Structure 1
Amino acid sequence: MSKIAPEPNPARQLVAANLRRLRLQAGYSQEALATEAGFHRTYVSQIERCKLNVTIDAMWRLAELLGAQVSEFLAEQPNS
């Protein structure tokens, strides 16, 4: 029997979008950011595609590298 993954919740989508925005602003590729943070090379991609939940510890490490606050991962952004 095939298992269909549920739609990611809005909080996970918000974290994914903000991580992507902050990563691009800082000039990192997904792989480079993951490597710099000490994560598996696909970890950032999985977060940005809403494939897994990110831990607070991982958000803290990513925020530190991106020069951001952890709270920025959960901040609503105005539509451009």
Structure 2
Amino acid sequence: MENHIRVLRKNMKISQEELATRCNVTRQTINAIENDKYDPTLQLAFKLSATLKTSVDEIFIYERERE
């Protein structure tokens, strides 16, 4: 699932470490999400949206798989 976390984070001028601390996860988790290597839990997605001051659907781009 693609996302806009890196762009939103940089617009707020916060580091991966700062975002991780605010969301109570590791910097490696934020890095993995930003690089599309990990899809966050729903709880973490809501923490990210609150921290980045935007909605979950503005952060994540869901592309339905073609059948």
Q: Which runs of 4+ in 1 moved over 2 A?
A: none
Normalised to the residue count of structure 1, the TM-score between the two structures is 0.68
Q: Greater strand percent: which structure?
A: 2
Specify the structure having the higher radius of gyration (Cα): 1
Give unpaired runs (5+ residues) of structure 2.
62-67
Q: Which has the higher contact order (CA 8 A, sep 6+)?
A: 2
TM-score (normalizing by structure 2): 0.79
How many residues get paired? 61
Aligned Cα root-mean-square deviation (Å): 1.3
1 CA distance for matches of 2:60 and 2:17? 22
Identity of aligned residues (%): 30
Is the aligned partner of 1:35 residue 2:2?
Answer: no
